[in-house]
Amino acid sequence: MAVNQDIRVGVCGAAGRMGKEVVKTILAEPGLQLVMAVDKAHVGEDTSLIAGRAEACGVLLEDNLEQAIQSKQPQVVVDFTAPAVVFENALTVLKAGVRSVIGTTGLSPQQIAQLESQAVKSDSAVLVAPNFAIGAVLLMKFSQEASRYFDHAEIIELHHNQKLDAPSGTALRTADLMKQEQARFGKTNVERSEEKEILLGARGGVSEANIHVHSVRLPGLVAHQEVIFGGIGQTLTIRHDSLDRTSFMPGVALAVRKIVNAQGLIHGLENLL
């Protein structure tokens, strides 16, 4: 009997905007097999049809993640749900000894540390990737590099107006990476005691890395980010635009393939490239 080597993949949040793209990707990619789909919406319906494909795939949407894992035995679960539920979902996946690929944003550093402990305990692996688009990963890398030479920078992130968390996970991660290169952001970038904010929030939020982050939410946008550096007589702007959710899919497929042989926590797609 031939042994099927396909990676058995489950999708949590499979009826959402990102989940539907992931479903289409898993169904189309060689070597990946969709075996499980979980969502609170469209329960009992065919996942492929919900994702907008003409052909049914036979995988029906279920609403209980734990039971679905037990019955469908995925090797990897991809999560694109919501900030309020992603932590519990990921714990459920890891406790079952299954590998977890997390695209949902909003996890706190403490929650990420807890997921790492659970992954180690379960001899499993978890990837937390605030952005699966290669261009956004490069934007973060270039911004980190530019931070060695500039000690003034602000971040503007722009997203569609259905997004639940602000600022975006990508903006927070970018700020953290920049801070790793430039210890002086705190002193020279934001400490202006004489500055008066006439309209509350006009200067944006100040990240843990002491970088101002501005969040724009408008219909028509997908996911965009600018990092603007300022120096004497010059500025440098690094910008990335995700114009369509398909921009995230090569990164998701790569993550699913690579996490099968990974251990523990991987934070950021760049660590799998």
Residue span 201-230 as binding mask against ligand NAD, x where in contact by CB under 6 A, dash where not: ----------------------x-------
Terminal-to-terminal C-alpha distance of the chain = 35
The least CB distance from residue 136 to ligand NAD, in Å, is 7
Residue span 20-39 as binding mask against ligand NAD, x where in contact by CB under 6 A, dash where not: ------------------xx
212 phi, psi to nearest 5 deg: -70, 135
Catalytic residues: 159, 163
The least CB distance from residue 54 to ligand NAD, in Å, is 21
Buried b (16+ CB within 10 A) or exposed e, 104-116: bbbbeeebbebbb
Q: Site for ligand NAD (CB under 6 A): which residue of 6, 28, 31, 40?
A: 40
Q: Which is nearer to ligand NAD, 62 or 154 (CB)?
A: 62
Binding of ligand NAD by 13 (CB under 6 A): yes
DSSP state letters, 204-233: -EE-TTS-EEEEEE-TT--EEEEEEEEETT
d(C-alpha 141, C-alpha 158), whole Å: 19
Of residues 121-180, those binding ligand NAD (CB under 6 A): 129-132, 163
Residue ranges binding ligand NAD (CB under 6 A): 12-13, 15-19, 38-41, 80-83, 85, 89, 103-106, 129-132, 163, 223, 248
